[in-house]
Structure 1
Amino acid sequence: MRSAPHEHHRELRIAARALARGHLVHAYGHCSLRLDADHFLVCAAKPMGTITPDDDGTVVPVSGALPEGVLGEVRIHQQIYARRPDVGAVCRIMPPQIGVLALLKRTPKPRHGFGAYFAPGPALWDDPRLLRDDVAAARLADTLDAGNAIVMRANGAVVVGESLVEAVALSWFLEEAARVEVSLMQMGEDGDHTLLTADETAARQVVAGRVYERMWDHLSFGDPETI
């Protein structure tokens, strides 16, 4: 079985705790980092905020059975990595505002800067059941297609990125976009008049200037493995 460098285990632990610090996961959730075309590293199977510097991840094959002790929904990661060579990291998150929208079978629209990154909007997986078989996980990956996020009705979301830094940052962006969407719904102002135009959306999809990295720094500040 392929092994992973210490630095990859460390980065994954920091990412897991950052997601917990940002209230994007709770007792449930997981994240992973691609190692090569055939393997990825998934975080320890425990609440992400409780992962310690001693909790190494597990190397998982992109194709084949899950190793012992790995959570069943890690099949989602397998199916995404198999289809998307551009994806270097996957975050399975449980953000509260996204959860509210998903119950209405809605996903956030591009109404402000953070929402622009998912334009015209993240995909919706309209099935509340846990994904613990390969067929369902494959269907979810197909529904995600080339997008960077998919919202799961009554079951959180999945966010992908070229790196863990990007995937963690986009996870926070997705929840912030949902917060804005829910707030506008409460005010009765969630019509097209509050949408960004196509030009405005494109202009806000900025990644230069350490956009993702600054969010990573914010969420990982004070982490025991960054001090």
Structure 2
Amino acid sequence: MSALGKSEAVVAAAQELERLGLNRGSAGNVSLRDGDAMRITPSGVPSGRLAPQDIARMALQGPDGAFEGPLPPSSEWRFHRDIYIARPDVGAVVHMHSPYATTLAILRREIPAAHYMIAAFGGPTVRCTDYAPYGTAELSALAVAGLGQQHGVLLGNHGAIVTAGELEKALWRAGELEQLAQVYYLASLAGAPVILPDEEIMRTVERFKSYGPKDKGA
């Protein structure tokens, strides 16, 4: 994909997140790996006003905060960069403030295996981190540790992150994470959700390697 094509894909993804109700206005952010750099949405620009030329390019190694482009990158650039460094399999990162995932993050409640679709994230839970202020190295460290080798994490009192090898699958996981958060929250209101065994989920993780949008990662 060309440099312009990557920037166009980031814009389209940010706008799709708003269309799906997973972000609003300038909330959340999207990035795409670009060789030894990343392309990331700018800070404070509503998705509906984004254009490809607004997408910042940042090297994965180099001076903190250095970027190419007319607008500064998202204030959350640190955890995007640090996830790419820690996870060579990740080619796209989506951060969202979707209602149900954020509700669970505020409750500091992980998402357990109440539904087998948790396997889309690579394990039997989607963990929830402690709180750290947005844009900080502390939040980035929590995000990387909470994500581990999986593809989703809740950020305490903040929102959620999903990852994938390619942007299409990251968007798919964003929608699936919000759906999991919603049904788990609603089931918790009605009673005590029955949690599936870890062994069953790990069998489903293996089956899911050929499920959903295909990408170069897991």
Aligned position for 1:40: 38
Out of 80, 100, 103, which is 2:83 matched to? Answer: 80
Structure 1 position 40, deviation (Å): 0.5
- Tell which deviates more after alignment, 12-21 or 65-74: 65-74
- Structure 1 gap ranges (5+): 214-227
Query: Is 2:211 the partner of 1:206?
Result: no
Aligned position for 1:156: 159
Structure 1 position 200, deviation (Å): 5.9
Aligned position for 1:141: 144
- Tell which deviates more after alignment, 83-92 or 50-59: 50-59
4+ residue segments displaced more than 6 Å: none
- Within a 5 Å distance, the mapping from 1:58-137 to structure 2 comes to 58-63=56-61, 64-66=63-65, 67=67, 69-118=72-121, 119-127=123-131, 129-137=132-140
- Structure 2 gap ranges (5+): none
Deviations 1:69-128 (A, max 9, x none): 12221111011111111110000111110111122221222222432323311121111x
Instruction: Verify the 8 A CA contact 2:41 2:74 in the aligned structure 1.
Output: no
Separation (CA, whole Å) in 2 of partners of 1:172 and 1:147: 16
Aligned position for 1:221: none
Structure 1 position 189, deviation (Å): 3.2
Q: What is the TM-score normalised by the length of structure 2?
A: 0.83
Distance 1:70 1:120, change over 3 A: same
Separation (CA, whole Å) in 1 of partners of 2:186 and 2:79: 31
* One-letter amino acid of the counterpart of residue 32, structure 1: S
2:134 partner SS: coil
- Within a 5 Å distance, the mapping from 1:189-200 to structure 2 comes to 189-192=192-195, 195=196, 198-199=199-200
Instruction: Verify the 8 A CA contact 2:11 2:47 in the aligned structure 1.
Output: no
Instruction: Verify the 8 A CA contact 1:44 1:55 in the aligned structure 2.
Output: no
Separation (CA, whole Å) in 2 of partners of 1:181 and 1:19: 21
* One-letter amino acid of the counterpart of residue 64, structure 2: A
2:94 partner SS: strand
Instruction: Verify the 8 A CA contact 1:113 1:201 in the aligned structure 2.
Output: no
Distance 1:39 1:185, change over 3 A: same
Matched residues, number = 205
Instruction: Verify the 8 A CA contact 2:8 2:52 in the aligned structure 1.
Output: no
